[in-house]
Structure 1
């Protein structure tokens, strides 16, 4: 019965089965993640007694662990995408339970690091499976849909998190609720996902073979440039530790938002972030990823610079919506760029390397941003804006979709 309902829904939306399953399970995971993620800063500061510097350390440790998982993406190019996705999702749900039982910010940092590591092991497989389940000229739309659904749960999540806090007067139950939703997603993926890697190209996953695939991918000049560019962009953008990091702290400490304001602001932000993804994906399929990045990155920089002047909910929301729209565009454009540049035999590994570079570069950035915020609250936003503006200049050498560079 569940399979027939999924088939009807898939056909009504014109989606491939894998894309539909990855999208709708991504919604469950993002809903479970958003319930605790939007309140992570408050949980760390209020219940675990951490400062803004220690908040930066937590994000630094967790993002640094993302680097190690990139290598395991090449397992998906040998063993298949499906096994890594299912195993990774299952372990993800277990880690959330232990995060809810944390008794110190250091313990939470280690668990978040493990969570990021597991996520990095299979995120490349998800992007590879989605891009391989459709025709070449529909990859932007497929990746946009998976990304859209993977963020859609973050829209109702802040309100659900607020109600959980009202009921339990603690943020710890948020993690248990999230673990339950992720476990359901793991079961659905086990039941419905179909492998996209052809059996005839699956070698034995020995260490030597994995290293060979990693080396092969890095000999791709265009791919090397894209990975390096992604790392530089991520370092610049994440000096503010994202909207759930210093943006949230600044909004409560300087812009004077209340807890109810934060719930409304979070839902509006995630709605805009999500709503732009499908149009952006279709536009990327039509005009290419490079032009979209040329538009998106400078606008992100502008939003970061303007945020220091935001006072009250209307101004905070308006400026953060600008960030939501163009950061969403940039994320999809970079994923399409890497998926298009890398051939099938090492696509999952290449996308994992991209994720590792992206989040790995964010690791020191979050620590630096947290430290600068303790010194001056406006500095991380201005520095992030300036570096993003400089990063945009590198787009002049960004490879075209046809392999040339300008």
Structure 2
């Protein structure tokens, strides 16, 4: 059965207490966003399984503060408390006592004073906390020093449990199904919007949650998406021979999938298009093959880079501008996570462990040539990499 049981959430809370104590903290506040967004929800969800769909609303003094957000206050020597602005958090119930308050900031401050000893308190998920809320907490809690502690959240979520890996496999499979639906819809005469709709419908039909996409085609295939809140161009109809570049993100029970594919619409690829498609695909697969326990992150990235540099595409066009596509990949779970798969820089010397989930891939975007992307999800196992996003 898919899902995380209450016992595992309680184990996660205990693990976070241990991480906080080792860091010299008296407790942590995990802060997350809801409102049907899939950015910045992971820290509260990881500890309690709670996600609320109340959308964000601007603060109204005396009526509500931080609508659409939630917090967990977790002392190192006491029970967790979940604080939200709405009791309508759905089923199953969260794995922590729940208290609701229209002013979430005031409720967090009140509980910190009473439940957490004076001293340093780690804030996990601070990127989702608006500056006025942060400043208010600091001003009304002179005995508690709030310090950024996102590294605790990353550390707690780095290696996945068996239940999490089952969810990630299910999520990757759904991503493959949705991408297959998009591919089937990508025929000459169809619009980018119709391709997007086929993928979103497949995700929703299967009970997943749509997160986002980047889609572009033809002469604009080197761009990531339309410059509009809708990532597709509703009036742009596909023609035979067009490159269609498609990135898709979504989740199953909060656990994300991320994959990218590029197709030639209604025709066999030209020689130039074959070179482009092979370069992104082969470099990504080389990195996936290197995703084994004990491998350093930088070595995995260098393997991707070496294969790309030896590609026919690179031989004919040279290397794209440095850093054009960013890192070669990243961790995956309840969010896009470290480690960032780069040849150099922070984390390059880090070693991969069994039980980690990664996304590896590459994107080329050259206006005079076109754009292509290839990306797969992979679980690191003791016996080698396990690709969880079906190929097309």
TM exceeding 0.5: no
TM value normalised by structure 1: 0.31
Query: Which one has more relative contact order, counting CA pairs under 8 Å at least 6 apart?
Result: 1
For the pair shown, the structure with the greater C-alpha radius of gyration is 2
TM value normalised by structure 2: 0.32
